[in-house]
Amino acid sequence: MRRITIFGATGSIGQNTLDLIDRDRDAYQVVALTGGQNIDQLAKDARHFNAELAVTADPNRLAELREALSGSGVDAAAGPDALIEAAARPADWVMSSIVGSAGLAPGLRALENGAALALANKESMVCAGALMLRTAKTHGGTILPVDSEHSAVFQALIGEDLDAVERVVITASGGAFRDWPLEDLAKATPEQAATHPNWDMGQRITIDSASMFNKALELIETKEFFQIDPAKIEAVVHPESMIHALVGFRDGALMAHVGPPDMRHAIGFALHYPDRKTLPVERLDLVALGQLTFRPADEVRWPALRLARDVMAAGGLSGAVFNAAKERALDGFLDRRIGFQQIAEVVEEVLSRVSAQPGHIDAPITLDNVMHADHLARVRADEIMNK
């Protein structure tokens, strides 16, 4: 039996992962499941899958979790340290699907155990790509991309020589506001931003899709994960979300990964890698689909894409600053302290302030330095939003 741990088990990726595990229960022993505020879901799944341990990120919810698990034989724990302890329990395969930079430390700890880390938490790569790759290499672990675009690129690269890659094209749906007149964006509400045309995902990534910060993070993730020159990485708007990414080679071949928008493909690919097993995803009817369309990724409508280029050029800890500033600015938008278009303005201002302070962006990429840069960026974002 394969030992499996899921960080962020109660979220959208976590629940899709459990759906796949549930279809082949005897093949897996669930070691740990973690969640946040959704104690009922966490306890229900921990019981159903007979997990060894359930952890909530919130220390104030421990008593409630204990109560919900009483008599089940599942251990309960809470708080950031408990997440690290869960990551330290031996497991063969670990899903990293916490949202935000909070997912970095548990994922790193799992890599230190030599686990195969299925990485949905793109923030880990954006904040600390070099550290993630180094840790995997040192401890004999592997990192398998779960972001659909990166799973697509990974699959297109199987058996290929990275030197032969001319371009990587990451597709973007364009999110909730892709067809809105630019002048209406100032009035966009969190509720409007949190509806996605094609994908069913957590609230934060859905709003990041509308602002294209999700795609910005993914461009940086592409650079970090595949160690590809940023000049070779492009974004294109593809409203149907059927092609997840394309890899172009020096002989002119362009390999596309095509499929209906269902994260269980990328999760299942990472779960069974290097095998391909049958997955419960819809098969594409090309004739019914009829056509696929593409539009330019407009950097005026979506300034996040321009900022991603700056971050890729600056390197170092600028990804950690960029991500944390975005997380805080998104909180500000959700709390209605700032408007939709101010999200990018806050992030740009934080990047410029932190970059102007020597010793931050160019500090070595260690967990402490990343978390320090993350903290500093949040403080700067709050200063800017409270002004």
- Identify what 199 binds: ligand NAD, Mg ion, none; CB under 5 to 8 Å per kind: ligand NAD
Residue 284's CB is within 10 A of a number of other CB atoms, namely 12
Q: How far is the CB of 149 from ligand NAD (least distance, A)?
A: 8
Residue 97 near ligand NAD by CB under 6 A? yes
Site string for ligand NAD, 284-323 (x = CB under 6 A): ----------------------------------------
**Position among 79, 114, 202, 260 found at the interface with ligand NAD (CB under 6 A):** 202
Q: Which 111-130 residues touch ligand NAD, going by CB under 6 A?
A: 120-123
Residue 35 near ligand NAD by CB under 6 A? yes
Pick between residue 148 and residue 369 the one whose CB is nearest to Mg ion.
Answer: 148
**Position among 45, 147, 221, 224 found at the interface with Mg ion (CB under 5 A):** 147
* DSSP per position, 42-76: HHHHHHHTT-SEEEES-GGGHHHHHHHHTTS--EE
Number of residues binding to ligand NAD, judged by CB under 6 A: 26
Distance, in Å, from the CA atom of 126 to the CA atom of 374, rounded to the nearest integer, reads 12
Distance, in Å, from the CA atom of 182 to the CA atom of 128, rounded to the nearest integer, reads 34
Distance, in Å, from the CA atom of 174 to the CA atom of 224, rounded to the nearest integer, reads 23
Pick between residue 109 and residue 353 the one whose CB is nearest to ligand NAD.
Answer: 109
Q: Tokens 């900022």 map to which residue?
A: 307
**Position among 5, 10, 173, 318 found at the interface with ligand NAD (CB under 6 A):** 10
Residue 327 near ligand NAD by CB under 6 A? no
Distance, in Å, from the CA atom of 198 to the CA atom of 173, rounded to the nearest integer, reads 8
- Identify what 98 binds: Mg ion, ligand NAD, none; CB under 5 to 8 Å per kind: ligand NAD
Tell me the residue length of the chain: 387
Q: What is the DSSP letter of 212?
A: T
- Identify what 267 binds: Mg ion, ligand NAD, none; CB under 5 to 8 Å per kind: none
Residue 169, H or E segment: strand 165-172
Tell me the three state secondary structure of residue 198: coil
Residue 185's CB is within 10 A of a number of other CB atoms, namely 16
- Identify what 97 binds: Mg ion, ligand NAD, none; CB under 5 to 8 Å per kind: ligand NAD
Q: State which residue has the least CB distance to ligand NAD.
A: 11
b/e sequence 7-40, b meaning 16+ C-beta within 10 Å: bbbbbbbbbbbbebbeeeeeebbbbbbbbbebbe
Residue 62 near ligand NAD by CB under 6 A? no
Q: How far is the CB of 46 from ligand NAD (least distance, A)?
A: 13
Distance, in Å, from the CA atom of 158 to the CA atom of 100, rounded to the nearest integer, reads 29
Residue 57 near ligand NAD by CB under 6 A? yes
Distance, in Å, from the CA atom of 235 to the CA atom of 167, rounded to the nearest integer, reads 11
Q: What is the DSSP letter of 2?
A: E
Q: How far is the CB of 98 from ligand NAD (least distance, A)?
A: 4
Residue 251's CB is within 10 A of a number of other CB atoms, namely 7
Query: Which parts of this chain interact with ligand NAD (CB under 6 A)?
Result: 8-14, 35-36, 57, 97-100, 102, 120-123, 147, 199, 201-202, 204-205, 263
Query: Which parts of this chain interact with Mg ion (CB under 5 A)?
Result: 147-149
